[in-house]
């Protein structure tokens, strides 16, 4: 048995959780070998605090580990509640990641293929990634808890934005890295973001009338047709979808769709059509 | 009658052209009200409107003295509401505790330790404390239903809207949940839609029977049961004139109707008898009603 014993003040600080890490480690190393100090600790222990610590440990076990998305969201400064909302998105529909990855894989494969075909595939797919993100973010089809969630005081718009951004935070940087690899002028490497914005705004606006998955599917089909028609035979004129008149059109569509969404926003707070 | 928590006037809800609710008037105060009716009677539609998640096509609606379709007032209602939908899914990977914790976070319980304490409390109320760490997908249907009910009890809401809370529960669990709900009914307005007439008889002071989107009966449970007095008989053989008749476990036939079978003896009606009598269900539809 050790002849040295821990200082009473140090033990009190340890009990209160005020000791620095090296002192804590040293005290714990001593406490496991010293019955006398453990007895002092037991006598001084704040039962309430121990109970609280125990509850916290039990809760952490019951809650389970935080998802990567939650940890990332908290590192980015979101509150615990918002991080939970963000983190529930991949759990709500695990398929989103697979879908996004497939899109990216397709885009990368396209870059490796012949230049016009590759550019066409990228332009047909990349602007739809945010549409997919929104489609998996909310609504009765995407979220098994949607009806229960609607009856809570949480703002549906906040939930939609947090979840959609969670997906985009992962997908957009990869697309932005892939875009410059394509054989096109530098400015066009970013220009595809404008049709992406228009498609996404249209999807959320339409989701105030239709289920979001159907809105996303409709916009996806529309965009693929638009790019295919613009590209023409052999996809020679594929960059036509990024011409100045078309970019102006996307901007107008994005602004109008955003206004429509804002006006009809309250529709998100209730169930849409019941099937 | 206590001051009303819920007041509906002429509420209609149409899906396409067919009305699920047809000009409904309803007032509810503190206490437990049972909502009975066949499938498609409009029970779930009514509960969704009261839970502020569905807009009526027409009519006025006040919940907790507020307008559920004014955004700010709706949020205030939702702060005081507990809602158990008919079908309550669960995200993959959630434990029972995590499920309740997540919904408590959505219900503005931002302080972690207070939220966890509340999650423990409501899981304990529904008898799910021991399984709180288990994944939702590993729980039985009845256990999942109890966890879903737990989230509705978060924060002791002033209005509890419950769509078939006892579905999938075994008799012990149902009795235990009756204790929980009856406790809530002392201080809150509880509306309970169910197909289990025994639950209504055991729990509710008042019963509302819906049929084709209209209120067929609204009054004390005892009054509805009393309306069947003198119209339920036990007999040794089946009588074709009975509105409903079935062979019981004793081998005798239970007859509900307006004409006593030969040699029959009157018996005390149950709420189920009164419900069948009220609806005037033809015999060939009896199986469907009782399912």
Q: What percent of chain B has pLDDT over 70?
A: 95
Q: Report d(CA B47, CA A26) in Å as an integer.
A: 60
The answer to whether the pTM exceeds 0.90 is no
Which pLDDT tens digit goes with each residue over A192-205? 889 989 999 999 89
Shortest Cα–Cα distance, A35 to chain B (Å): 33
Whether A148 and B83 lie within 8 Å, measured CB to CB: yes
ipTM here: 0.87
**Model confidence at A182: pLDDT above 90:** no
Q: What is the pLDDT of residue A2?
A: 54
Which pLDDT tens digit goes with each residue over B16-44? 888 899 999 999 999 999 999 999 899 99
Phi, psi (degrees; rounded to nearest 5) at B120 = -65, -40
Phi, psi (degrees; rounded to nearest 5) at A245 = -60, -40
- Which of A159-163, B44-48, B114-118 has the weakest average pLDDT? A159-163
Which pLDDT tens digit goes with each residue over A90-119? 544 555 565 666 666 666 666 666 567 777
Shortest Cα–Cα distance, B222 to chain A (Å): 33
| B125: DSSP letter | H
Name the pairing type of β-strands B189-193 and B159-163: parallel
| Three-point CA angle B159, B157, B172, nearest 5° | 90
Whether B133 and A62 lie within 8 Å, measured CB to CB: yes
Which pLDDT tens digit goes with each residue over A158-171? 888 887 777 677 66
Q: Report d(CA A267, CA A269) in Å as an integer.
A: 5
**Model confidence at A242: pLDDT above 80:** yes
Whether A64 and B103 lie within 8 Å, measured CB to CB: no
How distant, in Å, are the alpha carbons of A3, A29, A36, A43, A78 from that of A25? 19, 6, 18, 21, 32
Q: What is the mean pLDDT of chain B?
A: 89
Whether B91 and A274 lie within 8 Å, measured CB to CB: no
| B189: DSSP letter | E
**Model confidence at A142: pLDDT above 90:** no
Element (H, E) at B19: strand B18-28
The SS3 assignment for A68 reads: helix
Interface residue A49 vs chain B (CB under 8 A): no
Q: What is the pLDDT of residue B1?
A: 44
Q: How confident is the model at residue A252 (pLDDT cuts 50, 70, 90)?
A: very high
Q: State CA A236 to chain mean position distance.
A: 36
Q: What is the pLDDT of residue A275?
A: 39
Which pLDDT tens digit goes with each residue over A58-98? 666 676 666 766 777 778 788 888 888 877 765 445 555 65
Which pLDDT tens digit goes with each residue over B249-284? 888 889 888 888 888 898 999 999 999 888 876 544
Nearest CA in chain A to B113: A56
């Amino acid at each position: 048995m050790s002849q040295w014993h821990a200082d009473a003040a140090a033990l009190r600080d340890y009990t209160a959780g005020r000791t620095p890490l090296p002192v804590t480690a040293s005290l714990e190393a001593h406490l496991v070998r010293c019955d006398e100090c453990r007895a002092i600790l037991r006598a001084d222990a704040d039962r309430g605090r121990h109970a609280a610590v125990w509850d916290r440990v039990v809760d952490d076990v019951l809650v389970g580990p935080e998802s990567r998305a939650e940890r990332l969201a908290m590192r980015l400064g979101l509150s615990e509640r918002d991080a939970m909302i963000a983190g529930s998105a991949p759990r709500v529909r695990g398929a989103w990641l697979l879908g996004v990855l497939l899109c990216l894989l397709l885009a990368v494969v396209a870059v490796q293929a012949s230049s016009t075909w590759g550019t066409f595939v990228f332009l047909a797919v990349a602007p739809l990634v945010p549409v997919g993100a929104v489609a998996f973010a909310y609504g009765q089809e995407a979220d098994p808890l949607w009806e229960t969630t609607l009856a809570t005081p949480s703002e549906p718009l906040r939930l939609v934005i947090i979840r959609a951004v969670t997906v985009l935070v992962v997908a957009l940087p990869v697309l932005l890295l892939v875009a410059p690899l394509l054989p096109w002028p530098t400015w066009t490497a970013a220009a595809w973001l404008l049709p992406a914005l228009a498609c996404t705004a249209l999807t959320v606006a339409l989701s105030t009338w239709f289920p979001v998955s159907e809105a996303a599917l409709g916009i996806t089909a529309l965009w693929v047709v638009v790019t295919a028609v613009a590209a023409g035979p052999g996809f020679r004129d594929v960059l036509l979808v990024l011409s100045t008149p078309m970019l102006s059109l996307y901007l107008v569509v994005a602004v109008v769709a955003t206004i429509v969404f804002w006006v009809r926003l309250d529709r998100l707070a209730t169930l849409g059509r019941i099937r | 009658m206590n001051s009303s928590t819920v007041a509906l006037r002429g509420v209609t809800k149409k899906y396409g052209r067919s009305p699920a609710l047809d000009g409904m008037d309803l007032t509810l105060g503190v206490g437990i009200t049972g909502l009975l009716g066949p499938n498609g009677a409009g029970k779930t539609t009514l509960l969704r409107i009261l839970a502020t998640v569905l807009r009526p096509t027409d009519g006025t609606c006040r919940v907790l003295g507020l307008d559920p379709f004014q955004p700010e007032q709706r949020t205030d209602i939702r702060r005081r509401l507990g809602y158990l939908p008919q079908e309550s899914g669960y995200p993959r990977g959630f434990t029972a505790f995590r499920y309740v914790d997540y919904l408590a976070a959505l219900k503005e319980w931002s302080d972690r330790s207070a939220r966890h304490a509340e999650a423990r409390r409501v899981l304990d109320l529904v008898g799910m404390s021991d399984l709180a760490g288990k994944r939702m997908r590993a729980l039985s249907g009845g256990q999942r239903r109890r966890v879903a009910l737990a989230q509705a009890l978060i924060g002791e809401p002033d209005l509890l809207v419950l769509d078939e809370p006892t579905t999938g529960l075994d008799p012990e669990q149902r009795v235990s949940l009756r204790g929980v709900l009856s406790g809530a009914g002392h201080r809150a307005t509880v509306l309970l839609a169910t197909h289990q007439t025994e639950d209504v008889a055991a729990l509710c002071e008042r019963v509302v029977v819906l049929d084709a989107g209209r209120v067929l009966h609204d009054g004390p449970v005892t009054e509805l049961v009393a309306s069947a007095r003198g119209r339920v008989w036990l007999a040794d053989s089946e009588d074709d004139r009975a509105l409903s008749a079935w062979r019981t476990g004793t081998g005798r036939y239970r007859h509900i109707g307006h004409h006593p079978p030969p040699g029959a003896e009157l018996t005390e009606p149950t709420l189920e008898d009164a419900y069948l009598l009220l609806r005037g269900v033809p015999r060939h539809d009896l199986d469907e009603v009782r399912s």
